[in-house]
Amino acid sequence: MRVLRWFYEWCDRTNIQIERRLREGKLLATAEVTSFCRYLRAKRNSSVAGSIDLNHTSDKTLPILSPQTFNSYLGVIQDFLLWAAYEFIPTTTPAGTVRDTLRNAIDRLNRAFRSNAKAGKMVSDRSGLSTTEIETIRGIVQLQAPNNPFKKTVRFRNSLIFELMLATGIRRGELLKLKLEHLPIGAKTTLSIIRCPDDAMDPRRNEPQVKTRIREIPLHKRLARLLWIYVHQHRRVNNKEHSYLFTGTRGEPLSLGAVNWIFSSIVAVNSSELGGRLCPHVMRHTFNERVVTVADTMGFTQQQVEELQRYLNGWSESSQMPAHYTRRKIEERAMEIAAKYQDELYAF
């Protein structure tokens, strides 16, 4: 919200009526993106926003942003504008014309943002778990494992949380917002991810959030059966009965901190192998890397893989997140292609 506030302040100071523009299907021009980037980078000071000088000085105490922070903030505005482009498509224009015009405008916008990104750490160096690491964790959370760090009353739950995040790639907030009615049952074979912000029935002080789109994710029969075993045999409910799936030892909806604690406890058992390699979000990276691998073996094109990633992860149709979550896969492909190229280059 802070970054969006700066963006709207910049729009106000440069006399850009951004919402009117978006409703007309018009995105920022390359020069305007550059102007905002200068404003954002240099202490949010309009006197350095391109050629525009409104003789207004922002808070001089604001530090100049590091490349990593700047790129992160820039991504917020890029995602916002791409979302707005689809949200406010003019209804009076023929659908085909809108699609072509919008696609070209989005391509230009993406190029403008990429050209203004600063050198530095552009994406997270986090990658998914290897097969060996997954088996190590499964060995730790096994119900009868001698090095299982959890009390017997929560072992089934914690093991199930790991498996569910591994199989579906759902975020920590999405996991904690699951309710009994979202589970597969009868003819329904999918897990429902539903947005329910500011839920009056959610007693948690720090309410988990579903930041992605609503969607249905296929769930293996074995995993679905384990979920219902948990519901009937292990799930606790306090006096204030609720339908949230995962609960604490007193029956309250499980907290964000509790999920973090589960993963840090697993790391503590085998820090030499898992240290720095395991947290809730790593499960999302693992899911995406493995989905891409399966799709490759099935002969999917790059575009098709990215489309299915966007659906399964709840991202918008224009999201650039597929590349972010499959960095290691991209690096492997790059190394393989480069090696093949050099083999052909020196085949004499």
pLDDT in tens, 264-291: 999 988 877 776 678 898 999 999 999 9
Q: Phi and psi at residue 60, in whole multiples of 5°? A: -70, -10
Average pLDDT over residues 8-18: 89
Q: How far apart are CA 111 and CA 208, in angstroms?
A: 34
- Domain of 189 in residue numbering reads as 123-348
Indicate the range of 87-101, 226-240, 286-300 predicted with least confidence: 87-101
Q: Is there a single domain that holds both residue 94 and residue 177?
A: no
pLDDT tops 90 at residue 173: yes
| Residues counted in the chain | 348
In this prediction, residue 159 carries a pLDDT of 97
Let me know whether 215 and 75 are in one domain: no
Of 42, 269, 27, residue with least CA distance to 145: 269
**What percent of the chain has a predicted confidence (pLDDT) above 70?**
84
Same domain assignment for residues 220 and 326 = yes
Looking at residue 39, its pLDDT comes to 86
- CATH number assigned to the domain comprising residue 276: 1.10.443.10
Identify which has the larger pLDDT, 41 or 34: 34
Domains contained in the chain, number:
2
Q: Does 250 lie in the same domain as 160?
A: yes
Do 84 and 178 sit in the same domain of this protein? Answer: no
Residue 258 and residue 202 share a domain: yes
**Distance separating alpha carbons of residues 75 and 81, to the nearest angstrom:** 10
Are residues 242 and 303 located together in one domain of the fold?
yes
Whether residue 108 is found in the same domain as residue 144: no
Listed residues 56, 83, 116: the one ending a domain: 116
* Beta partners for residue 185, in sequence order: 188
Long-range pairs for 265-273: beta carbons < 8 A, 24 or more residues apart = 265/149, 265/150, 266/137, 266/140, 266/141, 266/149, 266/162, 268/149, 269/140, 269/147, 269/148, 269/149, 270/136, 270/140, 270/147, 273/133, 273/136
**198 and 78 assigned to the same domain:** no
Q: State the pLDDT confidence band at 329, using cuts at 50, 70 and 90.
A: confident
Q: Are residues 63 and 165 in the same domain?
A: no
Q: How far is CA 188 from CA 181, 196, 217, 314, in A?
A: 11, 21, 11, 19
223 lies in the same domain as 206: yes
The tokens describing 200, both together, are: 């009056």
**pLDDT > 70? residue 114:** yes
Q: What percent of the chain shows pLDDT beyond 90?
A: 39
**Are residues 192 and 326 located together in one domain of the fold?**
yes
Query: In the listed set 99, 116, 133, which residue is the last one of a domain according to the structure?
Result: 116
Residue at a domain's end among 61, 83, 116: 116
- Residue 50's pLDDT band (cuts 50, 70, 90): very low
- For residue 94, what pLDDT is reported? 53
pLDDT confidence bin for 157, thresholds 50/70/90: very high
Distance of alpha carbon 67 from alpha carbon 37, whole angstroms = 12
pLDDT value of residue 49: 41
